[in-house]
Structure 1
Amino acid sequence: MRRPALVVLVLAALLAGTPALARAGVAAPPSDPAALADLRTPGTAWGRDPATGRLTVTADDTVRGPELAALRRTADRADAVLRHEPGRLRTLIAGGQAIYGGGGRCSLGANVRSGTTWYFVTAGHCTRLAATWYADSARTTVLGSRSGSSFPGNDYGVVRYTGAVAHPSAVHTYPGQVTVTAAGSAYVGQGVCRSGATTGVRCGTVTGLNQTVNYAEGSVTGLIRTNICAEPGDSGGPLYVAATGTVIGVLSGGSGNCTSGGTSYYQPILEILAAYGLAIP
């Protein structure tokens, strides 16, 4: 017997504000990412701005006082632009086309396979909570058991289906579906959508690649940044290209909300598939 496919939403956050270091009319010297390699302050993120080539460090509302002063000095040493992003940068665990485990609720990202064995991927900050995952909050319908998890450093997890649950290759779009045809890479300026249990489908643009995000639980590197909002419960859900059905990532975390706007970060799907030898049909 087959059950409806579950979809994961991934959520991430960036910090944006006013450039602090550039001087009008003066060419900026190269930014030095090595100076940011040890930055671990929770509520911060950094990566290279594709429009200017400068490193950009963002800080949320929790970074203040001595921490903010130290962050300014670090940004100066790296010749990086320092920006403020309202809200709190965090991983987002709550409801979705939900999966349940360990007292947490996340979204399913994509159904994948190795040969004839089926799995789903979601955020690693979700799978670290529990070994067994369910389709319902009462935990009566088993989806499967965790077979891999990586967080922090990365933010992905893999669950092997063990229950009698249908797992079509599709993204739930509230109320419809988009057939998933492939996994792909992101590029700056790419039009993308994400699906999540809390806020449904939201669309926007890829604004950065290879971003580092410092959550309270630890740092995650190599993430995709977008200008798409997300909220708790969207974590683990897919980032995809609606026109082609190509999945490019799963939601890790973000800042802001879908009322005032926000930024979200995603674990690239190709990295997850390569780590576990999996494929999207």
Structure 2
Amino acid sequence: MPWAAPVIAATGVVMRDTLNGLRMRGRRLSSNGEDALRRILGRGLAGLGVCAAALTLATASTAAAGGSAVPVFERRNIDLPLVSGGQVASAENQATATATAAAASAPSPTAAVNSISYLTRRYQITPAEAERRLKLQVESVALAAQLAQQHPDDYAGMWLDQAGGGVLKVSMVRPELVPTRPGVVAVTAKWSLRQLESEARRLSAAEPGAEVYVDQPSNQVTVRRGNPGFELKCDPLHCGEAPIRGGIRIDVPRVNGTVGGCSVGYRVRSAVSGKEFLLTAGHCVLGSTHAHQDFTWHEYLGPRTPVTIEDPDIRLTENGPDPGHDYAIMPYQAGASGFWLGGGTVNRRSPLLPHMVNHHDLRITGYTPMAQVQVGWVVCASGSGYTPEPGESYVDSGAGRGYIPGTHCGEVKGKAAMIDVEICARKGDSGGPLFTEADGKALGILSGGDSRSGPCVAGDTERNRYASISTILERVNARTNGEYQFELVPQPTPQSPTPRRG
């Protein structure tokens, strides 16, 4: 049977003076770039909230590794309402075998309009320079796999330094082993990634409640202690048509009579039965107000299209306590799969205001394992957080008035049990997808982050955290003893952008 194509409903937001501003600075766009930007100008304006979580860096301890002391630092959370975590997925063998092929088959970065828009605004660079950086990002996966395989005792990681000119910094104990390539800079490391990961495993075993991870840019092991709190974080608000898209709204009635809002993450399938499921955040259906079998709906206040139902197999849903273990793999309600996967449409009422400006569908071609995600990557996230305007009938997810749901782009700032990113997100975006637009790869789903409300603000220091797809799949397949063998549904080639209103 043909493979149905999971799709992310993505929306970009660009400043209205982008073209004029570039021309005033003597910079010109390619005709394709100018056409792409024109398609998305004038349909909305929202700032990108990008930034850092409140963390205190304290002194730490050192631990022996190979007769020397590997530096270890401690971070304590301050008002950081986060949920989730988990073990970093190990996929080195698969990565080595597939990284080169994946880079070769990736779509052109030119198609990554949201990522290009983010880079040009944030770093005041030309679209051509943004495309160069995205191409370097895609190629870095294969280079990382190559160096880790050929020089395991020297390779210490890599990251994209966007603020430093968009160069790929490769850390090696013997930096002369770094191949000479445009945009690649060698950095001398004291400790190999193998040594650091060994120390991280030791510390993690010694402190089960702490998040222990390797910080590649500083060549250190970091320990984050404390029990983070929980912030419910939950694009298209009116998307009652097949195929089901990542980022669209699912409303979840609670036992107390209220209704919450979350977002669709990805389509997954059991390789054993062939049955399809949807993936979202576990905290959307687990908690004190969900002491029943949950049903989810798209546009609950009308036309109330059925989507999923909580699976009676409790192993398919988890909400901590370990960070990264925040997922719900949910089957479709009776008859819903035929609608969402079979080409159904719903007569939708027109919203009062246009939502989701500059919509286009991005097809996901696979996923990048947690171990391969690098600091400095440009990534995008979609979600459906929304607070209705006066007189508008829609479930309020608590996002705050003025927040425009859709796709926002930013950067990877760190990796612990989850992927830390500087991207604007609000309540209602929970469960929504994180992905790399340049190559169409899934990364994770939103689990938690900084508490913000209302419009995204350019320059805001906001950090949110995404549970890794590879971590989730490894975790749930281990919990179910391979009875389902869940996998991400494969996707065909990208689709051209299509403007869309609410």
Q: Is TM > 0.5 for Structure 1 vs Structure 2?
A: yes
- Residues 255 and 35 (structure 1 numbering): CA distance in 2 closer, same or farther, change over 3 Å? farther
Q: Which residue number in structure 2 is paired with residue 144 of structure 1?
A: 308
Whether 1:188 aligns to 2:370 is: no
Structure 2 matches for 1:90-105, cutoff 5 A?
90-93=231-234, 97-102=248-253, 103-105=259-261
Q: CA deviation at 1:7?
A: 6.3
CA distance in 1 between partners of 2:421 and 2:341 (Å): 28
Give the letter aligned to residue 55 of structure 1: T
Whether 1:21 aligns to 2:59 is: yes
Give the letter aligned to residue 143 of structure 1: V
CA distance in 2 between partners of 1:200 and 1:138 (Å): 20
Q: Which residue number in structure 2 is paired with residue 219 of structure 1?
A: none
Q: CA deviation at 1:264?
A: 1.0
Structure 2 matches for 1:63-78, cutoff 5 A?
none
CA distance in 2 between partners of 1:35 and 1:196 (Å): 37
Give the letter aligned to residue 361 of structure 2: Q
Specify which structure has the higher proportion of strand: 1
Give the letter aligned to residue 413 of structure 2: T
CA distance in 2 between partners of 1:58 and 1:202 (Å): 29
- Residue 174 of structure 1 contacts residue 200 of structure 1 at CA under 8 Å; is this kept in 2? no
CA distance in 2 between partners of 1:134 and 1:240 (Å): 24
CA distance in 2 between partners of 1:253 and 1:46 (Å): 18
TM-score where L is the length of structure 1 = 0.67
CA distance in 2 between partners of 1:99 and 1:54 (Å): 38
Whether 1:204 aligns to 2:410 is: yes
Q: Which residue number in structure 1 is paired with residue 500 of structure 2?
A: none
Q: Secondary structure at the match of 2:430?
A: coil
Unaligned runs of 5+ in 2: 11-50, 61-68, 74-202, 238-246, 254-258, 343-355, 386-404, 478-484, 491-502
CA distance in 2 between partners of 1:59 and 1:17 (Å): 11
Specify which structure has the higher proportion of helix: 2
CA distance in 2 between partners of 1:89 and 1:202 (Å): 22
CA distance in 1 between partners of 2:449 and 2:283 (Å): 13
Q: Which residue number in structure 1 is paired with residue 217 of structure 2?
A: 51
CA distance in 2 between partners of 1:7 and 1:157 (Å): 20
Q: Secondary structure at the match of 1:112?
A: strand
Aligned CA RMSD, in angstroms, stands at 3.6
Q: CA deviation at 1:261?
A: 3.4
Select which of 199, 202, 224 maps to 2:419: 224
CA distance in 1 between partners of 2:58 and 2:222 (Å): 12
Give the letter aligned to residue 109 of structure 1: G
- Residue 268 of structure 2 contacts residue 277 of structure 2 at CA under 8 Å; is this kept in 1? yes
Q: CA deviation at 1:57?
A: 3.8
- Residues 33 and 91 (structure 1 numbering): CA distance in 2 closer, same or farther, change over 3 Å? same
Q: Which residue number in structure 1 is paired with residue 281 of structure 2?
A: 123
Select which of 247, 250, 255 maps to 2:450: 255
Q: Deviations over 1:131-182 (max 9, x none)?
A: 21111223732112122211123100011123143249xxx99511101111
Whether 1:155 aligns to 2:306 is: no
Q: CA deviation at 1:15?
A: 2.9
Return 13-22 or 253-262, whichever deviates more.
13-22
Q: Deviations over 1:47-78 (max 9, x none)?
A: 54332214254889xx9xxxxxxxxxxxxxxx
Q: Secondary structure at the match of 1:262?
A: coil
The structure having more radius of gyration, on CA atoms, is: 2
- Residue 6 of structure 1 contacts residue 107 of structure 1 at CA under 8 Å; is this kept in 2? no
CA distance in 2 between partners of 1:110 and 1:46 (Å): 27
Q: Which residue number in structure 2 is paired with residue 77 of structure 1?
A: none
Unaligned runs of 5+ in 1: 40-44, 64-87, 212-221
Q: Deviations over 1:9-30 (max 9, x none)?
A: xxxx9633564438xxxx9843
Q: Secondary structure at the match of 1:203?
A: strand
CA distance in 1 between partners of 2:248 and 2:412 (Å): 24
Q: Secondary structure at the match of 1:176?
A: strand
- Residues 272 and 55 (structure 1 numbering): CA distance in 2 closer, same or farther, change over 3 Å? closer
- Residue 16 of structure 1 contacts residue 58 of structure 1 at CA under 8 Å; is this kept in 2? no
Give the letter aligned to residue 281 of structure 2: A
Give the letter aligned to residue 165 of structure 1: F
Q: Secondary structure at the match of 1:202?
A: strand
Q: CA deviation at 1:33?
A: 5.0
Q: Secondary structure at the match of 2:283?
A: helix
- Residues 35 and 112 (structure 1 numbering): CA distance in 2 closer, same or farther, change over 3 Å? closer
CA distance in 2 between partners of 1:132 and 1:205 (Å): 34
Return 45-54 or 191-200, whichever deviates more.
45-54
- Residue 14 of structure 1 contacts residue 263 of structure 1 at CA under 8 Å; is this kept in 2? yes
Select which of 352, 359, 373 maps to 1:175: 359
Q: CA deviation at 1:127?
A: 2.5
- Residues 30 and 18 (structure 1 numbering): CA distance in 2 closer, same or farther, change over 3 Å? closer
Q: In percent, how many aligned pairs have the same letter?
A: 27
